[in-house]
Structure 1
Amino acid sequence: MSTVFDFTYTLNSETSQNEVLNNAIAATAKKEYEPTSHFFVDESQLSSTVVANYTTDAFGPVTGSLTTKYRTTSKIRATVTDPVKVMAICNGQVLIQPQTGDATKVNLILKPSNTYSPLKIKYFIYRGVNKADLIGNNILKPLVNEGTGQPTFLAKLWKQYIAYNSTLIDPNTKAPLPLPTEFPSFLIGYDETQSDNTLIENYFTKKDINISYQIPLCTAGEHLGNFTGEIGLDIVLDHGDYQLQNQEELFKFDLKFAREKEHIFDTTAIPSSTPVKIKRYKEYIHQFMDAAAFWGSHMECGTIKTIATDSSTDATIKKGLKTNNDIFTKIVNKYQTQNKIYVYVQGENNRSYNYYDSTRKVFGFSSTGQLNETEASGWPIIIEELTVTASTPPKYKKGISFNLEYNIDTRIPEQERHVTVDVISPNNNTSHYPLLEKPVNPITPATVPAFLTNKTAPITTILQVNETKSCATFLILYGNLKQEFPLKNYYNNLFPANFNTNFLLPNAEIENMNLWATYDKSRMINLDAVVDIGASIQNKVVFDNGKESKDSGAAVPRKTRRLYMAILKRNSIHEVEYDRLNIDTITAGIAKSTTTREQYALNVYNNTDFSVFKGTFEDGLDTINSLSLIHKDSSLKKNSFFHLGITDEEYNTLMYNQINARGTIQTATTVTQNLPLEADNVFFHLEEDLTFTNRNVQKFKVGFRFEDATGNISTLFPTVTNEVFVYTVDGFYFFSKEYSAYQEYVVTDSTYIRNYEEKIGFDNIESTSNKRYEDWFIEKDINMKNKVDTFINALSQIDNNANFYNNVKTLVENSALSIWNQAISTVQANSNANPDDRPLYWARLKMQVALKSHPYFGGGNNAKDLDNLILLFEEKSRNYTSVINAPVGTNKILITGFDPFQLENDIEQWNPSGIAILSLHGKLINNTYIQTMIFPVRYKDFDKGYVEKYIFPHIANVKMIITVSQGRYRFDIERFASKFRTKTSTDNLNIKNTNHIFYLPNGNKIEQTSLSKIPEFLETTLPIAHMIPGTLGNNRVVYNQEYQSNISSLQYSSANSGINNLSAPAIGEIALNGSGGTYLSNEIFFRVAVLRNHLNLNDNLKSGHLHVPILDVNNYSLAANFIVETTKILKDAIQSL
């Protein structure tokens, strides 16, 4: 992305640029690839391709030197000898440079101002523009009369230059200065004397350039110049605005590269070449795209404007070329590579797919698969050309499904396995990606290998075809496809260490300056350990001069610091909280004056709603400031950012292993670097200090992880006396003691941000009472209100000290159990004609919010203590751990219900299953003692195994388990429970989740288990013959045998359908739907059945699911009658015991 300055030649002053300069101006990141461009020359003047020119003109491996040379310049030729117009592809800035070897030509570097997101383009480099039309003798060509064909770009520059100079006044005479007759070319950055090793980006950011200039702006379709004969175009993909430091670079985007007539990677020219260096060198081709593929990628999903469409009077044509046929015949077929498909596959550790594993295959073009390098002469890319029959419908499309191979050590438990793939391609709905899979072992009796190797789920894309051949295009696949045992910690693959800013820094230090660089290769990261997702990330490092938090004397000292960030772009559950942050718009910048928290948040997070919370904790005798990120509206958005904060001194200690030279060591040429210069792919490596005893804080020793000169992965730590340590209180923000001490812009009073479930009753007001719904529901039971108020008041009286946890634990245990008992007492009271489950539900939420809001937990501090207390509250207020044994001589049954749900549709919604279990708990009916629990409508509670955890201890002591939930308008006894979970329904946290985890008993505990051990369907063992027709009859109570698999299905059973079993799904069929659906009601039924089946209790334990009728909200007479009906069904079932 470009650093775009909106200027009019303020060439003698740069003060207007000294506030905040950002490399991004796009407001919103796109999920879809929908490119809009202008073709870069007059397409009507181009010749068709000639086979003889393939060797000199084609992008890719160079004919005659296929394994050693790779051209990145795509060339086209003119049909005429007259000059052909050259146009701006998009809005941006244009840097003009001399062309090496041809004094009559110049090259143009166009840096786009708008993202092609999700694809990012750094530069368009035009090679071979006629110099005589723009520059002569180091001055811009003078203006001539309009209409003579002179580039409008040149005319615009002259007009701006004259306009600026017309305002200048002679300081002595006060008269206007004479207007200039010459325009020196150095004023727009053209300087033939500038060294070839100057980085291109330095010109755009004015770093280390010793002339005063402005890079001019251009607009899409603007006439930039002309070419004769041939012209080349390099398209450089944007991997971030950064400069590597402290390591060798085999290729740079410098003026030598920018000035070439054509660019060719040549492995024979690598200095001190080794096989590892050649391998690394070839990786650079992933930053280049064939121009033919770029233009072809616009087909049917984008627009290309041309000189012809610009001049058309037809409104439709004027919009530009869109169709396959128009774009191919007018543009793409002018390229030698008009039919080539380029598949870029990035694997682990920022490397191409076969970099570490030469055997992995890509499936798609070949059913047997192909190596990444097979069709590209050893270069790490797949280049294919498809031939199809012209009659294949549809005429201009061909769908292809790609699969990548993964490799997983089978010692890794199935629930911890993780394979993710992300995709960027034309005509592909990128909102469906990344895809996450958790591969299972092959079904026995096949022997499970040491490493599980298989193919990912299909990645489907649409390729454009013209006549009988494919049209040039691209497909970029990003994979995290290998897991070794033991699993790598997520934080050791997050933070690249060796990149720096490319911005010009002021000569004198500015104490409150922020500057930042970005690094973006869309790496796929396994974040299951912290947020249960896979995600593509980009990196950012923020340099600042932090201010010490305490006054150390007359002057408060500052310290130069570095904040390394890993920022989520897209994730495998496609959570909207992340998407709304527009992460793709975060690019490099500099802010030379940062004086407020809001400015700091904008610089670092691109969003002023974030703040850094500062707390404290102890490490031995040291009091250390803790740091964590908070958002004013959302508790989830902070999860998009991972941080590692250290000071410059600490960075240099890691780099040079010398603590005594901190702060000055970067400029000391006599100090030997500890990190080998030939190191590549350098990341920070954290090693946890397991002797650290604070249960709410983790401590880590910091080092480097890198590829060494032999290509192997190595780690490096300073010696013991020079060790650097960081801490984290939440797993997202890692910080050193020194870094956090100098964190300037913080908040110390953190207001807890309610989650979705907690907000809905707080933000919405009941109209008649003008009270928050949360309070309105609680006040339906005045005794419940008193218990809530008592808890909140008592909590506020507990001091934030060393005894806090134990004191609050006692309060939580007593208060949570108290509201459970209160709810039962109220519903079961003889005088209560208004049975209701909502006071308990909303009381629990309000009390937990009060707990989470206590200062002891501010900013994520003491998070483990909070987790333990919330779990205790759940256990007592849902009766998870207070189920008691039946009296001697009686049977015992366990019944579960659910919280209210779908409150976004009707906030007054109740759940009749909750009313049922509150009305039945503790009763003795027909010599049968009833105990109940109520479960939340939250995927995460199920994925943590709470159903198995709290039901398993009782399964051997009960005769029957009935799970109950709200259903349709009758009672349904569901026959089939299915393994399948919905992909579309949200829970009470507004989360969609498809990656469920199952558990099985192991001794007296439950443990996560392999999905392959879990059947697809299980059946109810409830006493159907006693329950149907039963007391209520078969019209009111129905045996529902509905299911769906990948092969067979049964429809929803009708009333009076009887109890004879219909055909069941066969072994091997894959579940798609159970009798009770695919939501959590089916899942709790299934999880209990899995326990029963695993423990061989199918003949002894009666278990199953009862869907009960939905009740009109607030119709208490219906609710009272519903309790009577439910009790009758239960009595019918009890007769079987």
Structure 2
Amino acid sequence: MSAEPTNNLTTSQSGIGRVSKIQPVSHFFLEGTDFTQTAEQSFGVIDAQKFRTTSTVSFSGTKNIYALCMGTVFVQPQAGDANKVNLVLKPYRQPVNGLNIKYIVYRGLQKSDLIVSDGKVAGSETEGVGFVRYIWGQFNQFYEGEEANKIPDFVAGFIGFPHTAEALTAQDETHLIDQYFYKITLPNESNPAEEDATTAYELPIVPRGIQLGTAIGEVGIDIILNQGDYLLENDPNPFQYNLKYARLASHTLDTSTLTDDFKKKLLRENCTDFLDIAAFYGLHANGAGKMYVDEQNKPLIEKNAIYARIQSFHNRNRFYLYIQSNRQRSYNFYGNYAYSEANTNDLKIGTSSDTLIETTFATQGWPIHVFQQSQMGSQDVHQVTLQLTTDSYRDAGLFVQTGVLASAQEENFVRQENLLQEATEDGSIDTNYTQPIVFATPAMGEHTIASFAQIIYEGKLFFVQEYAPPPEPDQPSLTPETHILKDIDDVFGLFNVRSSVVPAHDQQLPTIVDEKLQLINFPNGVDSTDMGAIKYKKVEDQLLKDDGSYLSRVTFETLLYSIKKEVATFTRSSSGHSDSVSTHTQSYTNESNSFYKPQKPYLLGTKVFTSSLTPINGLILETTFNHLPTKKILGITASEFQALQELATTHNLTYARVFFKSLFSEEGYITSIEEVAYKTSILGIVTENSSGTLQVFFPDNEILVYTIDLFVFFSQSYSEFIPDAIQALYPQYQTPELP
């Protein structure tokens, strides 16, 4: 693999799956290269009970600290040191495409650079560190032309810092950080129309590379990955991204104070939300990255120059492996990937297929696997090879979100013969493991340059039991039904959550996006399936009915991130349209409908059919270019959604997903008297109980959903009032025959 910056494509060894290199652009957070880091200061596993999320470095004297990327700034006091502050930077422009960073937390900046003793912002438009000069300039520009007595003091509250005892009390340490970036406010009992004083400001946005401040002797930094801009009500996870976390001098995940085994497991899952700063900067050494440093205008591009910048990190040669599996949990979270009952190993890993060592994924129980092994010779690229356990089921698949594959793949998807091994007559091939999956990562001679790979893998059928209520007295216990989790049972959730984006008024309803990628299959035109990596969103809307009442509804919609399509002549090809949506709100009025509809190129059409003597306004999903859709939609009423949500509340359940139980066979269609073929499913939830066991629950009153095309699923009440968007826009449009 070339290190030339103009070569921005990479390919596997077989020549299959040519994909673009990632092109990171960021600023090194610290001035100079003369810093040190001990093992005790570095990111990662301390022992089986502790995981350090903060990477701390030491140096002599005072150093400048820089904004890693363009972002919004929120300043907090540092616990235990009145002379220091911590700074939370929320990326406005992501430094690495495909790597969604939620927050960067700087720990240990000098308070006097930012705030003076009377609680005002330090400096002026011409004096002070770069950050205060920049925001003073914005402040002066905003109030230009105002009378002097109408210009407020530029107090520290405008950058989030609680500059008075009253403000500090108002900023309770249990408040989530999101509350201050998204203006989530509690009702003001004395004046409900007045905005809460703790969020009565707009936090400043600063450019990449601006001097944020200075630090003396040491500074710490956390990188937090984004899983979605929403808040989980009654979250059982013992760790929260709150002000207590934001104010620490250094942060460590610690299970030693917990007694509940499942809560320990949940806490360990949190380590996958964090990224080592050394590995982040190591991504830039692929020949396509740009690392800006200090006050220089020209970025570092060459691998040796970038490695020189990260060489003082203790973890400079570590390769981190993140594997997400079923239900967005880490690999083998549910114990379903162990090789066998007698062999708990689930991973083989090494520098080549000849040097693989069988082991257990994770590092001392923390679900990030650290690989660090010198490789002989003077090489530009090292290889990390691994195999994962599988039962060779036909829909097994793997997608690489971050990382460079050097083995056979299809645009970062690995499936079918590229993933599954074929048995041999002599039994020399162990088909309980996948094909070797090979990653290429930049190196300097025998040393790997710090980096990481993010994988989504679903390689085994997953079985789960239906909840069986306790038997009546003197009655035998019920035998629970066992279900196979289908890919669609692993997608739609967002129960008991609220949006981080606060509605401006009561006629705004939220759209919430789950940012974690998942794998799903879409029917294609060659009697097969296309594998896609998707996010999904939950949309609330209200329909104004003819009688003047409202019908509240909930719509789930997948958002395509990447797809591997089967291409064949004379068939409808699948759409490759990628979706880009973030959490937001949308408005409706009392006079007209502003109901949900998919964005272009998608359209909802209708086909009326009769099921059990009930007329159904059937929905189909089409595209304006006559491609097969690469999207799945579930539409139910708010009351139906609430019935599912109450199951989780009643039984003290968490992490629920919608479960589709086929009313008849999984494969067969029913044909209505109108000659419309359709399928019917009963909705339930698949969820974790308080001990972490997965179970399927169904409400007492059945919720039925139908599908004609396997793309859109809908209840009878949901679809009743939907007009045919296709015919409205294209009167001459003829719906193609479904495959």
CA contact 1:503–1:590 (8 Å) conserved in 2 = no
Residue of structure 2 in register with 1:897 after alignment: none
1:735 aligns with 2:722: no
Residue of structure 2 in register with 1:466 after alignment: 444
CA contact 1:110–1:124 (8 Å) conserved in 2 = yes
Residue of structure 1 in register with 2:227 after alignment: 239
Residue of structure 2 in register with 1:673 after alignment: 649
**Shift in Å, 1:432:** 2.2
1:685 aligns with 2:659: yes
Residue of structure 1 in register with 2:29 after alignment: 40
When residues 183 and 460 of structure 1 are mapped into structure 2, their CA distance, relative to the original with a 3 A threshold, is: same
Residue of structure 1 in register with 2:346 after alignment: 360
**Shift in Å, 1:642:** 0.8
The correspondence for 2:565, drawn from 561, 569, 573, is 573
When residues 498 and 379 of structure 1 are mapped into structure 2, their CA distance, relative to the original with a 3 A threshold, is: same
Alignment of 1:259-658 (within 5 A): 259-270=247-258, 273-299=259-285, 300-310=287-297, 318=298, 320-329=299-308, 331-355=309-333, 356=335, 357-358=337-338, 359-365=345-351, 367-373=355-361, 376-389=363-376, 392-394=377-379, 396-408=380-392, 417-426=394-403, 432-437=411-416, 439=420, 442-444=423-425, 452-456=431-435, 458-483=436-461, 488-498=485-495, 500-506=497-503, 508-510=505-507, 513-527=508-522, 532-548=529-545, 551-552=546-547, 555=548, 557-573=549-565, 581-583=577-579, 585-592=580-587, 605=598, 607-636=599-628, 639-656=629-646
TM-score by length of 2: 0.81
DSSP-derived class of the 1:656 partner:
helix
CA contact 2:684–2:698 (8 Å) conserved in 1 = yes
When residues 737 and 436 of structure 1 are mapped into structure 2, their CA distance, relative to the original with a 3 A threshold, is: same
The correspondence for 1:119, drawn from 99, 108, 115, is 99
CA distance in 2, matches of 1:186, 1:578: 51
The superposition leaves residues 873-918 of structure 1 with CA deviations (integer Å, 9 ceiling, x where unpaired) of xxxxxxxxxxxxxxxxxxxxxxxxxxxxxxxxxxxxxxxxxxxxxx
Residue of structure 1 in register with 2:82 after alignment: 103
DSSP-derived class of the 1:418 partner:
coil
CA distance in 1, matches of 2:699, 2:391: 33
CA distance in 2, matches of 1:332, 1:724: 56
CA distance in 1, matches of 2:68, 2:269: 27
CA distance in 2, matches of 1:35, 1:579: 28
Q: Which amino acid aligns with 1:363?
A: I
When residues 697 and 138 of structure 1 are mapped into structure 2, their CA distance, relative to the original with a 3 A threshold, is: farther
Residue of structure 1 in register with 2:9 after alignment: none
CA contact 2:255–2:267 (8 Å) conserved in 1 = yes
**Shift in Å, 1:618:** 2.3
The correspondence for 1:195, drawn from 155, 164, 172, is 172
Alignment of 1:979-990 (within 5 A): none
CA contact 1:434–1:570 (8 Å) conserved in 2 = no
CA distance in 2, matches of 1:77, 1:195: 31
DSSP-derived class of the 1:650 partner:
helix
CA distance in 2, matches of 1:596, 1:402: 59
DSSP-derived class of the 2:649 partner:
coil
When residues 125 and 688 of structure 1 are mapped into structure 2, their CA distance, relative to the original with a 3 A threshold, is: same
Q: Relative to total residues, which structure has the larger helix share, 1 or 2?
A: 1
When residues 31 and 92 of structure 1 are mapped into structure 2, their CA distance, relative to the original with a 3 A threshold, is: farther
When residues 527 and 493 of structure 1 are mapped into structure 2, their CA distance, relative to the original with a 3 A threshold, is: farther
CA contact 1:205–1:502 (8 Å) conserved in 2 = no
CA distance in 2, matches of 1:135, 1:241: 30
CA contact 1:514–1:594 (8 Å) conserved in 2 = no
When residues 108 and 574 of structure 1 are mapped into structure 2, their CA distance, relative to the original with a 3 A threshold, is: farther
CA contact 2:112–2:122 (8 Å) conserved in 1 = no
Which runs of 5 or more residues in structure 2 are unaligned?
1-18, 163-167, 187-195, 339-344, 464-482
The superposition leaves residues 362-407 of structure 1 with CA deviations (integer Å, 9 ceiling, x where unpaired) of 3234734343446x22211211222234xx243x322333332322
CA distance in 2, matches of 1:707, 1:261: 34
CA distance in 2, matches of 1:164, 1:479: 50
The superposition leaves residues 927-967 of structure 1 with CA deviations (integer Å, 9 ceiling, x where unpaired) of xxxxxxxxxxxxxxxxxxxxxxxxxxxxxxxxxxxxxxxxx
CA contact 1:32–1:431 (8 Å) conserved in 2 = no
How many residues get paired?
Answer: 656
The correspondence for 1:214, drawn from 165, 181, 202, is 202
When residues 287 and 60 of structure 1 are mapped into structure 2, their CA distance, relative to the original with a 3 A threshold, is: same
CA contact 2:601–2:623 (8 Å) conserved in 1 = yes
**Shift in Å, 1:289:** 0.5
Residue of structure 1 in register with 2:114 after alignment: 134
CA distance in 1, matches of 2:27, 2:145: 35
CA contact 1:627–1:733 (8 Å) conserved in 2 = yes
1:182 aligns with 2:153: yes
DSSP-derived class of the 1:103 partner:
strand
**Shift in Å, 1:308:** 4.8
| Between 530-539 and 437-446, the greater mean CA deviation after superposition | 437-446
1:61 aligns with 2:39: no
CA distance in 2, matches of 1:743, 1:91: 42
CA contact 1:338–1:471 (8 Å) conserved in 2 = yes
CA distance in 1, matches of 2:723, 2:136: 46
1:701 aligns with 2:682: yes
DSSP-derived class of the 1:230 partner:
strand
CA contact 1:559–1:742 (8 Å) conserved in 2 = no
When residues 743 and 501 of structure 1 are mapped into structure 2, their CA distance, relative to the original with a 3 A threshold, is: farther
Residue of structure 2 in register with 1:1023 after alignment: none
When residues 441 and 306 of structure 1 are mapped into structure 2, their CA distance, relative to the original with a 3 A threshold, is: closer
When residues 67 and 445 of structure 1 are mapped into structure 2, their CA distance, relative to the original with a 3 A threshold, is: closer
Alignment of 1:779-858 (within 5 A): 854=734, 858=735
CA distance in 2, matches of 1:349, 1:689: 23
The superposition leaves residues 101-155 of structure 1 with CA deviations (integer Å, 9 ceiling, x where unpaired) of 2222211111112232222111111111111111235733343473x5x122212
**Shift in Å, 1:545:** 1.9
Percent identical residues: 24
Residue of structure 2 in register with 1:1056 after alignment: none
DSSP-derived class of the 2:239 partner:
coil
1:71 aligns with 2:52: yes
When residues 144 and 161 of structure 1 are mapped into structure 2, their CA distance, relative to the original with a 3 A threshold, is: closer
DSSP-derived class of the 1:297 partner:
helix
DSSP-derived class of the 2:266 partner:
helix
**Shift in Å, 1:580:** 5.0
DSSP-derived class of the 1:123 partner:
strand
When residues 702 and 484 of structure 1 are mapped into structure 2, their CA distance, relative to the original with a 3 A threshold, is: closer
DSSP-derived class of the 1:322 partner:
coil
Q: Which amino acid aligns with 2:275?
A: M
When residues 164 and 107 of structure 1 are mapped into structure 2, their CA distance, relative to the original with a 3 A threshold, is: same
**Shift in Å, 1:159:** 2.2
DSSP-derived class of the 2:642 partner:
helix
CA distance in 2, matches of 1:520, 1:76: 31
**Shift in Å, 1:434:** 0.9
Residue of structure 2 in register with 1:968 after alignment: none
Q: Relative to total residues, which structure has the larger strand share, 1 or 2?
A: 2
**Shift in Å, 1:523:** 2.0
CA distance in 2, matches of 1:445, 1:365: 26
| Between 277-286 and 617-626, the greater mean CA deviation after superposition | 617-626
CA distance in 2, matches of 1:296, 1:88: 18
CA distance in 2, matches of 1:578, 1:130: 55
Q: Which amino acid aligns with 1:422?
A: F
**Shift in Å, 1:582:** 3.3
When residues 743 and 185 of structure 1 are mapped into structure 2, their CA distance, relative to the original with a 3 A threshold, is: farther
The superposition leaves residues 736-768 of structure 1 with CA deviations (integer Å, 9 ceiling, x where unpaired) of 22222354794544759xxxxxxxxxxxxxxxx
CA contact 1:42–1:86 (8 Å) conserved in 2 = yes
TM-score by length of 1: 0.54
